[in-house]
Amino acid sequence: MNTDFELLKSEPFILFLTIGAYYIGTQIQKRVHNPLVNPLLIALLIIIPTLLALDIDYPTYEKGSHAISLLLSPTVVALGFALHKQIKHLKGNVTRVLLAITAGSIVGVLSVVAVCMILGTPEILMVSMEPKSVTMPIALGITERTGGLAPLTAITVFVCGIFGNIVGPWFMKLIGIKSPIAQGLALGAASHGVGTARAMQLGQLQGAVAGMAIGLMGIWTAVVVPIVQAVLK
Amino acid sequence: MKGIIIILAILLLGELISWLTGGFIPGNIFGMVIMFLALQTKLIKEESVSSACNALTNNMTLMFLPAGIGLMAAYDIIAENWLSITLNITVTTLMVMAVVGWIVDSNKKKEGKQ
């Protein structure tokens, strides 16, 4: 074995690659003002081909990048600070925020049921995808209770987040969702933490509201899924 | 440094509450609520956590990159169910976004007219 290749599989290289790709993404975003050009997409487009070219498998990458993943939980806690700074903008909006999240969680579950029925998707897949707009730990909890397939739930939850992160701001512009509170709530409700990361880039208020939406959406969906299942049976 | 210690202490407290309540709501969500309440009640000073919190939340996208790359490893499951997964994710994510966004925005317009 060539020792050069060992260096390219080391943790420092993987950290360098990941943080470097993210940094390039943020710099490109600053220069190209297109909502579809964003750090997550750019970084994925840099990292995935690099790993394939250097023949680095996922377990090796996962080990090397684990330190970054560990920061996720503290970041969710830190969203409480953003919410504290922005809460004054939410005064007088509490009822409509709760109404929007309630509707969002019902639409989130029923839309999966509708799409699956139209496609004739097996029930086990439908059950696995029902909590897809919810933050990962809650979604896995829901799927465990309703008998879904955990890996499929994890994938749909995550792709849902990436999709919302990349397409969300463009889509909201298209359909005329303009106020920062509406944007943040929509991103957090539809695409949980990954959407919140994008909301943070739109502004502190959007980010704070999105963080709040993660929690509310998670709890509401946990209530809605069993009800929908009971009705369907 | 103080900010990071406070964040980690709150996260630990959140994890404890999560465990005590059956683990259904994750510890970091409890942690977010505790952080918010502690700042609102001035139990924690804004200055002591602001730089650490901003550094984390402003770079939240980075924290999701490793998991995003993990999708490579899930290629088989995705390939088997690609049509259902693709339609579910695109259609339903946009529907949730539209419904939530519209409800908040439409009420705003009404309020403006009153």
The string of DSSP letters for B6-42 reads HHHHHHHHHHHHHHHTTSSS-HHHHHHHHHHHHHHTT
Looking at residue A190, what is its pLDDT? Answer: 95
Are residues A62 and A83 part of one domain?
A: no
Are residues A145 and A228 part of one domain?
A: yes
Digit-coded pLDDT (tens) for A27-63: 998 898 787 788 888 999 999 999 999 999 888 998 9
A-chain residues within 8 Å CB-CB of B2?
none
Are residues A90 and A61 part of one domain?
A: no
| For chain B, domain boundaries | 1-58, 66-114
- Position B114 confidence tier, pLDDT thresholds 50, 70, 90: very low
CA dist A105 and B19 (Å) reads 25
Which domain does A29 fall in, by range?
A: 3-70
Q: Where is the domain boundary, A18, A49, A70?
A: A70
Report the chain B residue with the minimal C-alpha distance to residue A71.
B63
Q: Please check whether residue A232 is in contact with residue A208, taking contact to mean a CB–CB distance below 8 angstroms.
A: no
Q: Please check whether residue B101 is in contact with residue A175, taking contact to mean a CB–CB distance below 8 angstroms.
A: yes
Q: Where is the domain boundary, A14, A38, A70?
A: A70
Give which of A75, A91, A128 to mutate to test B binding, by max B Cβ within 10 Å.
A75
- Number of structural domains (chain A) is 2
Are residues A28 and A9 part of one domain?
A: yes
Digit-coded pLDDT (tens) for B89-103: 999 999 999 999 999
Query: pTM, whole model, 2 decimals?
Result: 0.84
Q: How many CB atoms lie within 10 A of CB A151?
A: 14
Give B75 or A83, the one with higher predicted confidence: A83
Q: Is the four-CA dihedral B67, B69, B74, B78 of positive or negative sign?
A: positive
Interface confidence: ipTM more than 0.90: no
Are residues A197 and A184 part of one domain?
A: yes
Question: Nearest CA of chain B to the CA of A48: how many Å?
Answer: 7
Report the chain B residue with the minimal C-alpha distance to residue A100.
B100
A-chain residues within 8 Å CB-CB of B63?
68-69, 71-72, 75, 197
Residues B83, A119: C-beta atoms closer than 8 Å: yes
- Position B8 confidence tier, pLDDT thresholds 50, 70, 90: very high
Nearest to B8, CA basis, from B52, B42, B43, B39? B52
Are residues A144 and A58 part of one domain?
A: no
Digit-coded pLDDT (tens) for B16-53: 999 999 877 888 889 999 999 999 999 999 999 999 99
Residues A159, B85: C-beta atoms closer than 8 Å: yes
A38: region left, alpha or beta (phi > 0 left; psi from -120 to 50 alpha)? beta
Are residues A23 and A107 part of one domain?
A: no
Report the chain B residue with the minimal C-alpha distance to residue A52.
B72
